[in-house]
Amino acid sequence: MFGSKKQKAVENRAMAVATKHYAALGYSVTDTSTNNRYDLLCSKDDETVRVKVKGLTGGLGVVEVTKGEVQSARSSECPTHLFVVYSISLKEINRTDFVGEGGESHILASWQPKDSDLDATRFRFTVARPVNNSGPFFAYGIFKPGQLAFRQLEKFVARTDETATVRGKLLERDGLPIVELGGNNSVHGALIDFHSGKEADAFEAIDSLEPSNQYYWGKTDVHTSSGIRNALLLIGRKPDKGSTVLESNNWDGSNDPLFESALDVVEETLSRFSKFECDLKPLFRLEMAYLLLWSAIERFASFSYNLGSNPWQKVKQFANEPAFVEALAKEVSEVRHLFRADQAGRRVELIRTNPKKSIEYYYQVRSNITHRGKGVRADHQHLQSSTGELLAIFRAVLEDTFPKRSVKRED
């Protein structure tokens, strides 16, 4: 198996050979490899061809293709060519890097692979929760009582024992606490018993948060003030990758810096850069503050509703928070609208009595920044108003979710 640098050198050589080939045939060639399942889009007159490029250091033979690449090749939108560059040689440079050289080409025009042409060499297997749903659940991190994800479980809970600990180490990855079992340390949490007959529903609610990207299910002994019980829990996947050991073994999400210090930075930025200036520096500061605010909101939404990878679906649920609805009506005093930067003519509106439309509006302000970063006086006022309103709304949601926060802020 090649190292990543060698493989990249082979891929780069194959792409260079393919690009040169189609350009010599009079095609206009666009590299689409970073965001499509094919690597080149070649156009000439009324003809368009997709090209999937593969590179080999050995002779012509087996190439690996993904499910997405096969689906793209089978599409009827336009023909796909499979362009294979084989017998590529590698030259080492600077003792650490490589460059590909030479190579012979083989082209399969109108490539539409049949199932019989493909051999499965890898499969994805999800390790499911143990079938027995009758046991208790050891909750730590975002699943503990008083934390964000616990709200999805609360209606199923019969009893909690917050003296519970397990042997292990508590780590944090991208703000999310994960457990690595074993060792002499203890991780604090809560042992939860669900209502009789509701155990399966409770575990389904946990699974609906899509924890499998970060956790896998397991069982371990849980120590409580009344004895030891065996319980299900979520164990961190690859705990040594991208994580840090937490100083405290009793994590509390209300203390997340994104929910405290980051919001103070947003507030300070609003106060310091309220005046428009022609060099646009205050506008750019506000843009940075608004994106930081959205980083905090997206973390709240992820930890509350779903740990998966679709941010907009999670953000829409944020608008259903009762505190969001109440604060929106309180903080917004005008109807505003804007047009989407990525869809010409598509208008979105801020309406204080319509949370669904309003969250789309605030999210589109964020998207417009990343798409174009406009720089005019009207944008400054527009962004300043949106940042101030959304900051106040989000703080209201946090204080409703974590009641102790309001006490700390008053202190």
Find the domain containing 218 and state its range: 137-251
Distance CA 65, CA 76 (A): 19
Nearest CA among 162, 142, 161 for reference residue 150? 142
Co-location of 265 and 209 in the same domain: no
Looking at the fold, whether 325 and 394 belong to one and the same domain comes out as yes
Looking at 251, 278, 308, the residue that finishes a domain is: 251
Helix (H, G, I), strand (E, B) or coil at 339: strand
Tokens of 298: 């997206």
pLDDT value for 371: 54
CB-based contact 169:146 (threshold 8 Å): no
Length of the chain, please?
Answer: 411
Burial of 309 (0-12, 13-18, 19+ CB in 10 A): exposed
- What average pLDDT score do residues 109-120 get? 89
The answer to whether 138 touches 166, Cβ cutoff 8 Å, is: yes
- Kindly provide the b/e burial profile for residues 14-33, where b requires at least 16 CB atoms within 10 angstroms of the residue's own CB: bbebbbebbeeeebebeeee
What is the residue-wise DSSP string for 250-296?
A: S--GGG-GGGTHHHHHHHHHHHHT-S--TT-HHHHHHHHHHHHHHHH
The CATH number assigned to the domain holding 110 equals 3.40.1350
Question: Is the model more confident about 409 or about 265?
Answer: 265
Question: Does residue 403 share a domain with residue 281?
Answer: yes
One domain for residues 288 and 189 = no
Same domain, 260 and 279: yes
Hey, CA dihedral for 62, 111, 15, 12, is it positive or negative?
A: negative
Compute φ and ψ for 103, nearest 5 degrees. Answer: 110, 145
Q: Looking at the domain assignment, is residue 125 inside a domain?
A: no
- What is the pLDDT at residue 340? 72
Q: Decide: pTM greater than 0.85.
A: no
pLDDT tens for 125-176 read 655 666 566 689 999 999 999 999 999 999 999 999 999 999 999 999 999 9
Task: Provide the pLDDT confidence category of residue 85 given band limits of 50, 70 and 90.
Answer: very high
Give dist(CA 325, CA 303) in Å, integer.
20
Residues 183 and 320 in one domain: no
Question: Is 297's pLDDT higher than 60?
Answer: yes
226 and 260 co-located in one domain? no
State how beta strands 336-339 and 244-245 pair.
unpaired
* Backbone conformation region of residue 84, classed left if phi is above 0, alpha if psi is from -120 to 50, else beta: beta
- pLDDT above 90 for 94: no
